[in-house]
Each structure stands twice: as structure tokens, then as C-alpha cells.
Amino acid sequence: MPELTLNNGVTIPQLGFGVFQIPPEETRVAVTQALDAGYRHIDTAAAYRNESGVGAAIAHSGLAREDLFITTKLRNGEQGSPRAAFEASRKALGVDWVDLYLIHWPVPSQGLFTQAWKELESLYAQGLIRAIGVSNFLPEHLDELLSKSTVIPAVNQIEAHPTFQQAGLAQKSRSHGMAVEAYSPLGQGRDLENQVVAELAAQYGATPAQVVLAWHLGLGNIVIPKTVSPERMRENLAAAQIKLSGPDLARISALESGTRIGADPALAAFTQL
């Protein structure tokens, strides 16, 4: 499994397993199957309401905690009390520490993310979190955060897939030493129907999903595809063995259409999450 080294020296598996929209009652089984398939990086969030399922799978896996990389995220409605929110997540996960803790959305209308970041810096200094980062932060949010922070975020997790790459945001994030992590890396399946992707899948003897994931890995993105199918879990993991040529990476990059699937972070509040 390829790994990236974050800006504080912590290593992260580049291909992980995401649990967004997996119902809480199904999460334990899905994560258990993912761990059995070979995943060691699990991405959850308090807003997904399935951290306890992730924790149950970890507890019954028999794997050493040091061999796992667990990411979770601060709920938007708890930016005013991040320490309590973190402790609730840690309890639900059943772990002594979290490997990566992210501010899930900037929610600029609240004006709390810089204050919340200070608390994350404190938790990081205490050793309760191995790396801290952000999610859905646009350039203006990064500028504000960096102007008031001591610790530079290790990761910016953003929507990124062939038809919505946010290349400028990715470049800005990397210019400040942040790794880029892509959620909805397959465009929620829409990008898999593209003719270029289909041609490359045939060329490489791979599935369309494997080709798109290999493109992400070739760009240096961390990716967290979600599936509840054990067969697709294994297929997605095998994408790490596929190395696309430079011209083929460029063919996929040329599919950019500016088509966002998720919410616009400049406007999104989701304070109920």
C-alpha cells in the first residue's frame, strides 16, 4: 500500500476506506470486510453517525492499533466546543488517539473555524491526535486560518474527481505543505461512464474505478472510496498496483468540466450535522 508522509512526519496510507452514507447498523460489517481486504486507513466523521460501528470493527479486528490509520472530523454544530466533540468521537471509536482529525466544513457564516483550530492545536500538542487538518476549505478559508494558526494543516480533504478537480485549490494546499485528500473520488460513479475512462480501462485491463483511482494516486492525492461490496473493496485496493503513464494521466485531467457534486463550501452551513 503506498503511503504519503504528511508535513509533520506522520505517514498515511494513500488509499483508504470511506464510510460516508453507510448506515450505522451496517458500518461494523463494512469496515470489518474492508480490514479483511487489506485496508488500514478508515475515514469517518461525527456527522456520519457511524463512528461506533467503525470502533466495533476495530475492536474485533485483532489488528494492532499502531497498524491502523483512523480519521474522523469535527461536526459543524460543535465548532464552539471542539474538545468535547473530539472526546465524544474518541469514545465512540474506542481508541486512545486519533490519527487525523479534521474540521469538516469551514462554515464561514459561524465565524468559528479559527477558534476551533486553536483547540485542535492544543489536542495535537497533547498527543491525542497525530495530525490535524481541514476539509472543504477554499483558498479564502485557508488564508484566514493560516494567518491565525501555529500548526499548518496536514491535510485539506476536498471534493475531487476527473470532472471536478479543484486543481487551483489543490495547488494552493500543497504550496503550504498540505496533502490533498479526495472525497467522492469517482464522482459518485458518474465519471466512470466517460469514454476516455472506458478506453483506458480496456487498455490497462482494469475497471473504470481502478483507472480513476490510479489517476488520483498518480497525482499524489489521498483517496477514500466507499463501497459496501467486498468485491469492489478488493478491486479498489488493487488500483494501487496500476501506474498510468504521464499522457494517460493528462487524458483524464483533461476531463475537467467544473461540475461540482457536493455543496459549495463558501455557502454550506449544515449546522445540524
Q: Is 183 a catalytic residue?
A: no
Whether the pLDDT of residue 273 is over 70: the answer is no
Q: Burial, 204: exposed, middle or buried (Cβ in 10 Å; 0-12, 13-18, 19+)?
A: middle
Residue of 48, 101, 124, 183 with catalytic role: 48
pLDDT above 70 covers a percentage of the chain that reads 99
Grid cell listed for 260: 461540482
73 within 8 A of 135, measured Cβ to Cβ: yes
pTM: 0.96
pLDDT of residue 272: 56
If one counts every other C-beta atom within 10 angstroms of the C-beta of residue 207, the result is 18
CATH match of 3-188+221-227 with 3.30.420.40: no
Whether the pLDDT of residue 174 is over 90: the answer is yes
Domain limits, the chain? 3-188+221-227
Through-space distance between the first and last CA atoms of the chain, rounded to whole angstroms: 33
Higher pLDDT, 266 or 168: 168
Q: Pairing state of beta strands 11-13 and 17-18?
A: unpaired
Question: Has 104 been labeled as part of a binding site?
Answer: yes
pLDDT tens across 194-244, in order?
Answer: 999 999 999 999 999 999 999 999 999 999 999 999 999 999 999 999 999
